[in-house]
Chain A
């Protein structure tokens, strides 16, 4: 138990308050999702349809991106491309400098987290203010999101009340959720009023019409994209869909899977900056398309399914590992099952490959995934890529980097013994005879479990005793 991941997991498992916060939240989310799909046949049809829409978009991704760019440009939206988070940040920086902007107000965007945008801009003396209530709360506490949909889910109201009181001592202490929310509204409204550049993520980009779609409940997405005079949207290249008619099914399954809502309060479709004669809205709209390893994932027909993800978080909400260790244990932007397949591919198996091993492969994630991403299969593939020898046959970053001589030798010996019946038979008989001498300490496994005990006789002997003989 020496890796950073394992150390963090151990530390978080020892925090009962955080664990209780996760348990309560995830139980509620699972129930609410279930309530939204009373007709199982409809759910399965909708999942198949949504998978097909996403698979279709990916099947022609380069063409759709070109169509999208042409239509956005025709509509007056400026499109930028970034291969790395650094390039993405530099594009945002250049836009801010052109407007002499010293602050930016952000709607919720996981891709901006992926880019480390807040740290990048703050180092340049530019204030980045999160306006999503959950993001605002964790920013006050210097934390990162622990969930992709509900960033502050690891905190309870008492913790948030204390945090607000500490940061805003002039405002009376309260644990009332409505009062806390109104406090944030007042603070952030002043910022929306005064800030000239707003930033948002994107849920879907429609190639056919050149439209950017945003799903949200609070209005922070609408505010960030409407009140400031410049709007910058950042998103991954995979978020494109072919046509507008693809959007209703995806929107429906996204909100129902994520929070158990039939639809969110706001669905915002932006197709251009302010047109002549219009009285509000940004004068400039920019879209930054981030690759950051996605085109590499795209090159593998098996791993490609990772890019179907619509970021609903249902896999996270249903993951027995996530609910126990919490989102921060992963040490990555995207936690849970989707993070465990996405992050090792983006950063490399040598950096985050351990996440692919932190799964029971129970399959709950793939059972709920609205676009049917086969997460357990991809986890297995990444485990294999991590230790494979023929690294020339895969594009996965860091392939073979998790291979150790001792593990490879162990499995090689096992394979040799298991394919030589005389050796296997002699070995298993010997182990059965000397079972009393087998170690009871088997490393990490036996820190929380009893060591397995061998039976009185081998399986071959037991079968033989039953009178079965195929030889």
Chain B
């Protein structure tokens, strides 16, 4: 059925004489939004990113390479977390594991989800992940889950704590795609843009947070 359907659909589409392509499409600026080009320095990018994130009820903390562990530790304490899911394999995760006593019970995602799905869904309070960068214009984290930091880490636990490195904070989405060479390097299984905690306005246009994903998003900008 499918092969016949494929042949029929493509044959119908190919019967139509080719439509002329739109001339402005070939503009070198096609990745930029409406031709707008921002000239934001690092401070301005951080300011805009923070403003946007806070506007959608995310928590943003600014730290240095020396203080970020303190910040994460304080966030965990303030929220009364009883455990924290964090990779022992990533550069950042290793640092947290090295000071395990300062954090809630550290949990690791070291087996396929099928082996511990119940605990993941009902027993994990929070997860800590790194990020692939950020977007200042929209207040967005770029997350590319990996073998060490799988997809569900940033989705299932009620609290997601993420670390963003300032040198990976881009002005626009288009700039991030281009600068990081997403096409050249090939797309990962899953790439995500995350802009705040999960939310909905489906009931009478009233914003409610924490629908299916994390109820709280904490970003530590370093």
Is B truly associated with A? yes
Q: Which residues of A are at the interface with B, using a C-beta cutoff of 8 A?
A: 21, 24-25, 28, 39, 42-46, 48-49, 51-53, 55-56, 58-62, 65-66, 80-83, 87, 90-91, 131-134, 137, 150-153, 155-157, 160, 177-178, 180-182, 184-185, 188-189, 192-193, 208-211, 217-220, 222-223, 226-227, 229, 237, 243-249, 251-252, 259, 262-275, 277-281, 289, 291, 295-296, 298-299, 301, 304
Q: Are B22 and A222 in contact (CB-based, < 8 A)?
A: no
Whether a CB of chain A sits under 8 angstroms from the CB of B152 is yes
Whether a CB of chain A sits under 8 angstroms from the CB of B54 is no
Q: Are A219 and B24 in contact (CB-based, < 8 A)?
A: no
Question: Which candidate, B60-68, B75-83, B99-107, B170-178, is the interface stretch facing chain A?
Answer: B170-178
Say yes or no: A59-B33 contact (C-beta < 8 A), given A185-B210, A227-B152, A268-B190: no
Smallest CB–CB gap between A232 and chain B, Å?
14
List, in ascending order, chain B residues with CB within 8 A of A262's CB: 52, 137-139, 195
Query: How would residues 183 to 207 of chain B score, 1 for a CB under 8 Å from any chain A CB and 0 otherwise?
Result: 1001111111111111111111110
Q: Are B21 and A226 in contact (CB-based, < 8 A)?
A: no
Q: Are A279 and B109 in contact (CB-based, < 8 A)?
A: yes
Report how far A248 CA is from B8 CA in the complex, Å.
Answer: 32
Q: Are B212 and A185 in contact (CB-based, < 8 A)?
A: yes
List, in ascending order, chain A residues with CB within 8 A of B15's CB: 299
List, in ascending order, chain B residues with CB within 8 A of A181's CB: 200, 203, 208, 210-211
Q: Are B199 and A217 in contact (CB-based, < 8 A)?
A: yes
Q: Are B10 and A281 in contact (CB-based, < 8 A)?
A: no
Report how far A226 CA is from B156 CA in the complex, Å.
Answer: 10
Report how far A261 CA is from B209 CA in the complex, Å.
Answer: 15
Q: Are B193 and A263 in contact (CB-based, < 8 A)?
A: yes
Q: Are B192 and A268 in contact (CB-based, < 8 A)?
A: yes
Smallest CB–CB gap between A336 and chain B, Å?
17
Smallest CB–CB gap between B71 and chain A, Å?
23
Q: Are B147 and A278 in contact (CB-based, < 8 A)?
A: yes
Q: Which of A25, A43, A152 contacts B34 (CB 8 A)?
A: A43
Q: Are A156 and B204 in contact (CB-based, < 8 A)?
A: yes
Chain B's interface size range is: 35 or more
Report how far A245 CA is from B204 CA in the complex, Å.
Answer: 35
Q: Are B10 and A219 in contact (CB-based, < 8 A)?
A: no
Q: Which of A42, A151, A192, A266 contacts B193 (CB 8 A)?
A: A266
Smallest CB–CB gap between A252 and chain B, Å?
5
List, in ascending order, chain A residues with CB within 8 A of B137's CB: 262
List, in ascending order, chain B residues with CB within 8 A of A51's CB: 22
Smallest CB–CB gap between A201 and chain B, Å?
16
4 closest residue pairs by CB, A with B: A219-B213, A46-B34, A219-B212, A134-B202
Q: Are B30 and A245 in contact (CB-based, < 8 A)?
A: yes
Report how far A111 CA is from B167 CA in the complex, Å.
Answer: 41
Q: Are A222 and B2 in contact (CB-based, < 8 A)?
A: no
Q: Are B21 and A59 in contact (CB-based, < 8 A)?
A: yes
List, in ascending order, chain B residues with CB within 8 A of A229's CB: 114
List, in ascending order, chain A residues with CB within 8 A of B1's CB: 87, 90-91
List, in ascending order, chain A residues with CB within 8 A of B109's CB: 279
Provide a sorted-by-A list of 12 A–B residue pairs whose CB atoms are within 8 angstroms.
A42-B33, A49-B33, A81-B2, A87-B1, A192-B212, A218-B213, A244-B182, A248-B172, A249-B34, A263-B140, A270-B190, A281-B189
Smallest CB–CB gap between A382 and chain B, Å?
19
Say yes or no: A42-B22 contact (C-beta < 8 A), given A193-B118, A280-B152: no
Smallest CB–CB gap between B137 and chain A, Å?
7
Q: Are A55 and B22 in contact (CB-based, < 8 A)?
A: yes
Q: Are B202 and A52 in contact (CB-based, < 8 A)?
A: no
Q: Are A278 and B183 in contact (CB-based, < 8 A)?
A: no
Report how far A246 CA is from B22 CA in the complex, Å.
Answer: 14
Q: Are B211 and A291 in contact (CB-based, < 8 A)?
A: no
Q: A82-B2, A211-B187, A279-B113 are in contact. List 10 more A-B contacts (CB 8 A).
A: A43-B34, A180-B203, A181-B208, A189-B121, A248-B174, A249-B33, A252-B33, A275-B189, A295-B9, A299-B16
Smallest CB–CB gap between A266 and chain B, Å?
6
Smallest CB–CB gap between B202 and chain A, Å?
4
Q: Which of A44, A152, A265 contacts B202 (CB 8 A)?
A: A152
Report how far A46 CA is from B35 CA in the complex, Å.
Answer: 7
Q: Are A281 and B211 in contact (CB-based, < 8 A)?
A: no
